[in-house]
Chain A
C-alpha cells in the first residue's frame, strides 16, 4: 500500500478510537448525571419522571455493548485460556488469528440474529420510551455485534500483517478479566 494511504488509514483509525473513548465517557456521564438527577428530584421535590428508570436501563445496555466493542480492540475480553501456552511460540499468532476469525463469525451471526430481532420489534414492538419505537432502543445489539465482528476480523488480519496493531500483537493478546 502507498505510504500516503497507510498514514491516512492510521489517522482515521486514531480518530475513530478517540471517538469511541468519548462516546463511552458520554454514556457513563449520562448514566451518572441522570441517576443523580432522579435522586435529587425524589429527595428534594418528591417527584420524578417515569421515563428516567427505563432510559437508565437502556443506557446500561448501550454502555456495556459499546464497552465490549472497545474491549475487543484491546484484547480485554474475559477468556479461559488454559492450554494455549502448550503451543510453541511460533504458532501463537496463527492460533490467535484462528480465534479471532472464529469470534468474528460468531459475532457476525449474533449481529444477524439481532437484525432479525430489531426487524420484528419494528413490526410488533410498538412505541415505548420517549415516544420512540422499542426497536430504536435495541439498535445497540446489531450495531455493536456487527462492529465487534469487524474488529475481530481486523485483529485477525492484523495478526497476519501486523498492520492494524500499533505494536505487534499488543491489541490481540487475550487478557484475563481486565487484569492490568
Chain B
C-alpha cells in the first residue's frame, strides 16, 4: 500500500493532475482503513452545503470577460490621466492598475499577459530602466490578491470557514501598504523628466472618465452591496457577473455575442479545475483529521517552538517555499486545512492567518527559482529567467518587508475587519 502511495506522489511530481493525485491518495487511505469507497464522493458532495462557493464561478467569469474586453486599456488610460502627474507617475499607474486588475481576475497570470504588453513599452518609452520595468511588471502580476473581490481570498474563506466579508476588509490596509512601499520605491527610481511634469487637462480627464463610465461603478457595486447589507458575497458576484456581461457585450460591444459561449465555457473550465481539487481535498482532509494528523503535527512542532512569533516566522518560511512550488489555489486547498488547527493552537487569528497566507503565496509567485510569474514574464517578454531574478530582487525585498509588517502587526489586518 505504501509503495502505491509513493508511486502516486512520484506521478504527481511528473505532472499528473493534482485532483487525481489527491483523490487516489484518499481512495487508498479509505480502502486501507476498510472504509467504503463511496465515502470519498460523500465528502465531495458536502461542497453543496457551502453557499459561499457560488461566488467563485461568477467572479471567475466576470474576471475572464473583463480581461477579454477593452477594460484593461480603458483603466490604464484613465489612471494615467489621473496619476500621470506624480513623480514616477507611470510606475505608480502600473502598480495601481495591475493591483485592481488582479483583484478582479485572480492571479492566474492574466495580468502579466493583458497589461504587461501595454505597460512594458510605455515604461521603457518613459525612460524607465529596462531591468526596473521588467521587475515591476513581473511583481505586479500577483499584486492585488489582498484586495476584494480576489478569488484566493474567497477560496481561503471557503476552506477555512472564515467570514469572507471580514477577509475582504482585512486585506485592504496590508494591500495599500504594499502598494505604498512599492510606489515609494518606484518614485525614487523614476527617471528625471525631460520636459516638466505630465499634466492632464480637465477635458481630457472628463473624456477618460466618460470612457470608463460603465466600469467605474463595479467595485462600488460589489463592496457597497456587501457592506451596505444588501447582498451576501455570492449575490454580489452574481451582480458583478451580470453587470460585466451587459456592459462589455451590449454597451461597449468589446466582446461579440458569438464569442460569449466560448468565454463562458473557458471560465467554467478554470472553475472546474479548482472545484475538483477542492472536492478531492474535502475527502483527504477528512481522512487526515480523522487520523489526527494536525494534532500530531502540532505536538511535534510545539516541542521546538513555544512562542507564537517564532511559529509565525517558521510559517512564513514554509509558505514562501509552498508559494513558489504550488499554484495559489492548490496551495490554499492543500495547506490551509493542515495549518489551521496548528495556527489556532498558537492563538493566531483566522482572518489574520488568511492575510499572512495570501501575502506569502503572492510573494512565492515571484520568488526564484520557480515562481510562476518569473516564467510567465520570461515567456511574454522573451527574456531569460535569470535576468528576471535580478530584476525582481528589489521588489521582492520590499514585499518581504511588507510580509514582516503584516505578520507581526496583526492590527493592520484586523483593524478594519473589527
Contact = CB atoms under 8 A, between A and B. Distances in A.
Interface of A: 20-22, 24-25, 27-29, 31-32, 35-36, 38-39, 43, 53-54, 56-58, 60-61, 63-72, 74, 76-84, 87, 95-96, 98-99, 102-103, 106-107, 109-110, 112-114, 116-117, 120, 137-138, 141, 174, 176-180
B264 A79 contact: no
A57 B17 contact: no
26 contacts: A21-B262, A24-B261, A35-B237, A39-B239, A54-B48, A57-B49, A60-B57, A61-B45, A61-B48, A64-B275, A78-B273, A78-B274, A78-B327, A78-B330, A80-B325, A80-B330, A82-B370, A84-B13, A96-B15, A99-B15, A106-B27, A109-B37, A110-B23, A174-B17, A177-B273, A178-B270
Nearest to A105: B24
A29 B19 CA distance: 26
A22 B261 CA distance: 6
Given A78-B327, A80-B325, A113-B27, 17 more contacts: A32-B61, A32-B238, A35-B238, A36-B238, A54-B48, A65-B272, A77-B18, A77-B276, A78-B329, A79-B18, A80-B330, A82-B325, A84-B15, A106-B23, A106-B24, A113-B41, A178-B273
A25 B261 contact: yes
A83 B16 CA distance: 11
Given A63-B271, A99-B16, A78 B53 contact: no
Interface stretch (B83-91, B92-100, B108-116, B132-140): B108-116
Interface string B385-412: 0000000000000000000000000000
B51 interface: yes
Contacts, number: 225
Nearest to B240: A32
Given A113-B38, A177-B327, A28 B268 contact: yes
A84 B14 contact: yes
A70 B17 contact: no
Contacts of A28: 57, 61, 264, 267-268
A76 B50 CA distance: 25
A66 B144 CA distance: 30
B207 interface: no
B275 A116 contact: no
B289 interface: no
Contacts of B18: 77-80
Contacts of B215: none
B47 interface: yes
Question: 6 closest pairs, A vs B, by CB?
Answer: A67-B272, A64-B275, A35-B238, A68-B272, A81-B15, A67-B268
A180 B110 contact: yes
Contact of A67 (B15, B235, B271, B327): B271
Contacts of B13: 80-84
